[in-house]
Amino acid sequence: MSKRAPLFGPFGRKLFITLALLSLLMVSAVGVAGYRQARSALRESAMQRMEDMARERGARLDAWFDERMDDLGQLALLIERDLADGQADLENLMRPHLGREGAYRRMLVLDGAGSVLSETGSRHADCPLPSDDDLSLALASDAPSLGAVAAGPRGIPIAHLSAPLLLADGHRGLLLAVMHPAETLYPILADTTGLGRTGETYLVDADTLMLSPSRHMNHPPEFTHKMPTPGVHACLAGATGSELYMGFLGDEVLGAYVWMPRQRWALMAEIHAAEAFAPLSAMARQTLALALITLLGALVLSALLSRGLARPVNRLAAASARVAAGDRSRSNLPEGRDELGRLSAAFNTMVDELARHERELLHAERLAAVGRLAAGVVHEMRNPLSALKMNLSALARRKDLSEIEREQLAIARAQGDRLERMLDELLDYSRPVELNRKNLDARTLLQSCAEQLRGEAGDAKVELIVEEGSAALDADPEILLRALVNLAANALQASQKGGRVRLKAETEGSATLLQVTDQGRGMSERQLKRLFNPFFTTREEGTGLGMSNARKCVEAHGGRLEVNSEEGRGTVARIYLPLTR
């Protein structure tokens, strides 16, 4: 009875170590590259979102101030007219403006010395007059102006708006309005739509003093502390932008800032970096799970290969030893002296050839295992991704979700779809291109491309035109069509409604030219330089591998892909293919 082969022999152990190392190397490389690209994409997306948020809040504040300045300027004209006509009922003239949108608490008409000529509204301590210095500056101004925002006697924020007046005696006067920012400006900043769990917007003056309340309970009240953060300093220097820096509470934040020169304020929008980069934690867990699954697969594969190869090799080795020793009684060898004699001679020759073939087979198996592993990495990542998408879909069907939660779920589902597309394109990117060349007409290929994208063009309301003219091609129609569809789809997505995307084929010198032209938004020089980098994309839903795959398809034909673009003018993509192989 033959001895049972062990689960792991020397060959199995070496095979397992080799596969485990290759698996970990592949997973680590993909994980690190994916992590870096994902972090870069998340950072860029989050910065753009916070910049948009800061600009939107700044625009709303400016619009509010413009309305107030217009109100005050028009009221000043009415007061000047009544003063010129000898009418003195200024209080009744100011009273209708007092409660407009809850902006003003007290309105006064002052002469050049700061004495009150007329007033209406509250005279409590929470509506004080500005200092003598601020009054002097307001009287010297030729247009409506905003005074400094500061805490009043009872700690209530106070702001003064003023407009110059020409009094009846020809001297300068002042129309002064006292308002409470907490009831007018702060609600604009307190809007947390799109800011997530830790995001907030607030104002800082030129001395880095915080002017508006914080969303977080552990933050000091306004007018009690300064905000000397890198983002505040950059904004007070007149810059508008975004960056990562340490926040006031010692946490890393992603901040965007907008300089408001008229008020000399820094408008800040910040979100904790931990929340902005939260998807990276899930990605790290998935990569770790993938590594463990890959190691388990390497263990099983090594055991199967070890048992499958070691047993026949051991039997052949024993038979070879017995045959070399002249023992013809082996049960697994044919009986009969003559036949065993010939088998012995043939077996010895076969063993020598088998050793050579086995080395070649083992090398081929290892290469094949590495190739399957690359495809397996993508395959295994789809399993946790599918579970993630399924759970997100289940959550989205709940009816008790708030608008913010639905928006966050929509973002998460869109990112899941994007990751799935990225995996498909990553598989195409890693797979070698094998051409099945045929002689074909270039215009026919362009028409096939247009037919594939006809529905997408209709949805985008963009006209897709195949121009007259043609040329001969010696190419793989399926692979070349894939590159053309990718370029044309990009052109459709970059085009505005009512735009046109043109496809053209012609012979240019010793090459066939296939051209895709659009009149869309175009690209900057910086974007063009990174266009063919894997994982670079200008669209939030893009994967960043489409242009890399398109260039790989073109270069497999011995051709080249060129892209020219101008911001606001459109993009031209040209494929040059040699007329002969």
Residue 388: the pLDDT is: 78
Q: Along the 581 residues of the chain, how does pLDDT read in single tens digits? A: 444 555 566 666 776 777 777 777 877 777 788 778 888 888 888 899 899 999 999 999 888 888 888 888 888 888 888 887 776 678 888 888 776 656 788 888 888 888 888 888 887 767 788 888 888 888 888 888 888 787 777 777 888 888 998 888 888 889 998 888 877 788 888 888 888 888 889 999 989 998 888 877 677 888 888 999 999 999 999 999 999 999 888 889 999 999 998 888 999 999 998 888 888 877 778 778 877 887 787 777 767 766 655 555 555 566 666 646 544 433 444 444 544 445 444 655 555 554 455 543 553 354 334 335 445 666 667 677 777 778 778 877 888 888 888 888 888 877 777 677 667 666 666 666 778 888 888 888 999 999 989 988 898 899 999 998 878 888 888 889 988 998 998 899 889 998 999 999 998 888 899 999 999 889 888 888 888 777 677 665 556 677 888 888 888 888 999 999 999 889 999 999 987 66
CA 198 vs CA 49, 192, 213, 267, 485: distances in Å: 14, 9, 14, 17, 42
Residue 385: the pLDDT is: 72
Residue 319: the pLDDT is: 65
CA distance linking residue 434 with residue 556, whole number of Å:
8
The token duo for 104 is 């003003």
Residue 330: the pLDDT is: 39
Side chain identity at 487, as an amino acid letter? L
Residue 529: the pLDDT is: 86
Side chain identity at 384, as an amino acid letter? P
H-run or E-run covering 576: strand 570-578
For strands 570-578 and 560-566, give the pairing. Answer: antiparallel
Contacts of 229 (CB under 8 A, 6+ apart): 245, 246, 247, 248, 255
Q: What is the 3-state secondary structure (H, E, C) of 407-456?
A: HHHHHHHHHHHHHHHHHHHHHHHHCCCCCCCEEEEHHHHHHHHHHHCHHH
Residue 189: the pLDDT is: 84
The token duo for 553 is 């398809």
Residue 525: the pLDDT is: 87
Residues, the chain: 581
Domains, the chain: 65-184 (3.30.450.20), 187-276 (3.30.450.20), 280-328+371-429 (1.20.58), 433-578 (3.30.565.10)
Residue 333: the pLDDT is: 40
Q: What is the pTM of this model?
A: 0.46
